[in-house]
A = this chain, B = another copy of it.
Amino acid sequence: MPDTTRRADRLPGNRYGNRPTMKDVAARAGVGLKTVSRVVNGEPGVTPETERRVQEAIDALGFRRNDSARVLRKGRTASIGLVLEDLADPFYGPLSRAVEEVARAHGALLINGSSAEDPDREQELVLALCARRVDGLVVIPAGDDHRYLEPELKAGVATVFVDRPAGRIDADVVVSDNFGGARDGVAHLIAHGHRRIGFIGDMPRIHTAAERLRGYRAAMADAGIPIEDSWMSLGVTDPVRVRRAAEEMLADPRPVTAIFTGNNRVTVTVIRVLAEQTRGVALVGFDDIELADLLQPGVTVVAQDAAALGRTAAERLFRQLDGTLLAPDRIELPTRLVTRGSGELPPAD
């Protein structure tokens, strides 16, 4: 039957609201403290009869072991921290889930937080996680200086950076091939006859954004196409400014005939702008987008495997904890060009 006491009646009298401890269980079962501990942890050396009595007391009192005390004693928390940019971004959902699954397979819980792309908030979060003595950290860095982590690394906190490299510190890194992916995407547009290709991306201080920009430049250089300043818009992700940037590129007397977008959020906004254009403008976007295949035309993208990023990072993390992984390394996962129509439109000039 449901508990019908009013909440006020069961508010904590003391700190944990009078939660029973092993001592209480021991008293009720008429055994010693350590015996309860043995039962709770499934250690051998307890007769079935004693175990039964202890188990009864545990159930009767609703005892739950206090992991804080346990951690204090044992030194391992069986939890890992994940700091990412924004949990609500569809790119990070699968990444986060993949980290969680690996953690679960190793019996660890996941504590996570969003940095909102703010380096201070990133540091604050990371240090809060360290204070909780997480066994390891998976970090999608917002900042570019992680020397504040040196004491943690020295203390043996396993650490892996994902999606973007660590700054000024030697640590494991798992990233996508942002440069190569962007270069291939832009080369794809060039191969379909485009010469005037726009680029709209995030602030170059964000490593992924810088790499994708570098890929754009490289593809253009490889094709011997000089880039005009008006084709590039950097540090722009909010819808209003992306829209303006795209519209300006298209309003030019010699407008771009194709646009390469630097991440999923930019792509979505540019799709909206292009949908309003009468002339066909080609588009290749970095990051895949749900339903991209159902739009008219389908959206050609350079897809990253977010789940693989998370999984790879988490697996490396636990290998660090195992001790089977020694030197920090940098892993680069390939991207995949998914052609769906928008990237294969011919230049409309």
Contacts and interface: CB of A to CB of B under 8 A. Distances in A.
27 contacts: A1-B168, A2-B168, A3-B154, A7-B325, A7-B327, A8-B323, A10-B156, A14-B75, A16-B133, A16-B156, A62-B151, A64-B131, A64-B151, A65-B131, A67-B133, A68-B72, A72-B72, A88-B94, A88-B96, A88-B307, A89-B93, A90-B90, A100-B113, A104-B113, A110-B113, A268-B290, A295-B295
A19 B132 CA distance: 13
A294 interface: yes
The 6 A-B pairs at the shortest CB distance, nearest first, are namely A62-B151, A15-B75, A17-B156, A88-B97, A12-B156, A17-B155
A131 to B, nearest CB: 4
Interface string A271-299: 11001000000000000011110111000
Nearest to A65: B131
A114 interface: yes
B67 A150 contact: no
A290 B90 contact: yes
Nearest to A299: B291
Contact of A156 (B11, B79, B111, B113): B11
A108 to B, nearest CB: 10
Interface in A110-150: 110-114, 127-133, 150
Nearest to A63: B151
Contact of A294 (B87, B88, B153, B271): B271
A97 to B, nearest CB: 4
Contacts of A153: 3, 10
Interface in A158-189: 168-170
Number of copies: 2
A320 interface: yes
Nearest to A108: B128
Contacts of A30: none
Contacts of A114: 97, 100
A16 B64 contact: no
A66 B72 contact: yes
Given A11-B323, A66-B72, A110-B111, 20 more contacts: A3-B169, A8-B326, A16-B133, A17-B157, A62-B152, A62-B155, A64-B151, A67-B131, A67-B133, A68-B71, A88-B93, A88-B96, A88-B307, A90-B290, A97-B114, A104-B113, A109-B111, A110-B113, A268-B290, A289-B291
A167 to B, nearest CB: 10
